[in-house]
């Protein structure tokens, strides 16, 4: 079979798409927690690279997009991630808000958690003082 494309294009495709196997295996076998909730705030590996402190979270609500469950976190506009990024991030942020989501959304697709109970817990943590957050976390762990 004779083709007009050079051989390096074929090898490039094999190498590029072949990288999908180790990356996919890594994600399949990754046992690290996706969501961490403690007295400081919420950490979601897929959403943001730092803890989202309780003090900057104003509210939370559930949303379903294409069958996937999310918890949207309403945060102080000064702490929205797109503020420190370029025009593309700001445009994507605006699109998120037009569909009813926020910039910081916790995906529950790979987590076996009750969406409504988690929203209620987040709202309770927002409204507590730091000492009360520790007590609430201890109560939830003992259940």
CB 107 within 8 Å of CB 72: no
Distance CA 34, CA 143 (A): 21
CB 34 within 8 Å of CB 41: no
pLDDT of 124 above 80: yes
Distance CA 125, CA 37 (A): 10
What residues have CB less than 8 Å from 52, skipping those under 6 apart? Answer: 41, 42, 43, 44, 73, 75, 79, 104
Confidence at 46, pLDDT banded by 50, 70, 90: confident
Q: What is the mean pLDDT of the chain?
A: 83
Nearest to 47 by CA among 111, 91, 98: 111
pLDDT score, position 143: 64
């Amino acid at each position: 079979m004779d083709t007009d494309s050079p051989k390096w294009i074929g090898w490039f495709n094999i190498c590029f798409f072949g990288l999908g196997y180790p990356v996919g295996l890594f994600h399949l076998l990754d046992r690290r927690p996706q969501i961490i909730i403690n007295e400081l705030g919420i950490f979601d590996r897929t959403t943001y690279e730092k803890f989202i402190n309780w003090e900057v979270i104003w509210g939370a609500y559930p949303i379903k997009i294409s069958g996937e469950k999310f918890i949207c976190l309403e945060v102080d506009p000064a702490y929205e991630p797109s503020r420190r990024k370029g025009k593309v991030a700001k445009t994507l942020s605006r699109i998120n808000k037009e569909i009813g989501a926020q910039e910081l959304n916790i995906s529950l697709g790979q987590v076996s958690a009750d969406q409504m109970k988690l929203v209620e817990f987040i709202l309770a943590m927002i409204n507590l003082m730091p000492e009360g957050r520790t007590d609430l976390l201890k109560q939830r762990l003992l259940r």
